[in-house]
Amino acid sequence: MTGTAAIVGGGHADWGKREATWKDLAQEAGKAAFDDVDGVTPDDVEGLFVGAVQPERFAFQSHVAPLAAELLGIDVTKMISRTELACASGQAALRYAWLAIASGQLDTALVLGVEKMNLGDDYVEETQSGMTNVLDREFDGVNGLNAPSFFSMFAQRHMHEYGTTREQLAAVSAKNKRHAANNPYAQFQQEVSVDDVLESYPVAPPLCLLDCSGITDGAAALVLMSEQKAREVTDTAAYVTGSGQSCMASNSINNLPSMSAWPQATVAAEEAYEQAGIDDPVKELDVAEIHDCFSISEIIEYEDLGWVEKGEGGQFVEDGRSELDGDIAVNPRGGLLGCGHPLGATGVSQALEVYKQFTGEVESARQVPDSPETGLIHNLSGSGSVHSVMTLARDPQ
């Protein structure tokens, strides 16, 4: 490769239960991204990468990358693609844009993540049924393994093996929803206490309603440039310094290597850390956006991303080490628990948050102190069989 790539700006649509269509969401986020970067217009975009999981099912539309180009007025001259990797689709789009720019194929790209998931109150069952498509529908889906029941088994096993407590799970949700209360794009903008989480409606024990991320309509977009181009438009960018992915041939639940760990996350993280020159992530990472689709997920990720020993994730959150002023500020935008989880848009939003933390353009109540300079984003997808990790920094290596 000939270089790296830098995030120089981006934008959001509002996230939540929206009357907006897939097209509306794509246009909102795309316009916000161009409005955010002075001197960059749709005419400058050479490559477009769209993360979208199930537009065929939720919006009855395929071939969405050319559709998005038309909606945003982009005449793509070099590269266009839609990425589908379940909950990591947005990060996959970002990864491919980075690789295209780093290899010298492009100078400027737009990364867009879009998901329209709410089909109306009469179609909730349709949405839930559609979500089982990211598992092995023929085997796991017909046995009731939608997301809450699947992650409840991980929570039960982790609690059994390591003594993780219900209060520690609830602490993850309370922290992230507190951050989301100060994020104008989040679906859930209300603080909750640990007791509120514990007392919320039981969904799949030990997980209650407030342990679960939402069904969300939303979109986010990023403008990426080569290092030379980035320096022409901004003094503060988020440069991609490392990226790793791992899948251990375990899409079905019966083939997963563990029910309390994700060794795939460890492999992906170690690959990203090596590329970025990170030896001690707890000391060298300032901010991280990780995949808290359920409260147990964040606890396991503390461990498998190499921040603490196995079984110590619950204590990590209980001790405040993932607070804004902790060892690593985790999910300052509110995470999936606070922002919601429009599948194809989540990874894009995570990267945008790290960029905005670098530039200091987030609300003061959730700004990571001391001018953060390094960050990480993480997504799991499907049955947790695939994990994707990317590291970012204010200065390229």
Among the listed residues 12, 158, 291, 341, the single catalytic one is 341
pLDDT at 2: 61
Enumerate domains of the chain plus CATH numbers: 5-120+216-233 (3.40.47.10), 143-212+240-393 (3.40.47.10)
Strand, helix or coil for residue 208: strand
Q: Please answer whether residues 25 and 112 qualify as being in contact, where contact means their C-beta atoms are separated by less than 8 angstroms.
A: no
Q: Is 341 marked active-site? A: yes
Q: Please answer whether residues 336 and 346 qualify as being in contact, where contact means their C-beta atoms are separated by less than 8 angstroms.
A: yes
Among the listed residues 87, 212, 293, 339, the single catalytic one is 87
pLDDT at 270: 98
Helix (H) or strand (E) run with residue 355 in it = helix 346-359
pLDDT at 31: 98
The residue ranges of the chain whose pLDDT is under 70 are: 1-2, 122-123
How far apart (Å, rounded) are the C-alpha atoms in residues 6 and 2? Answer: 14
Q: Is the pTM of this model over 0.85?
A: yes
Nearest to 136 by CA among 265, 254, 56: 254
Nearest to 15 by CA among 6, 4, 24, 3: 24
pLDDT at 123: 67
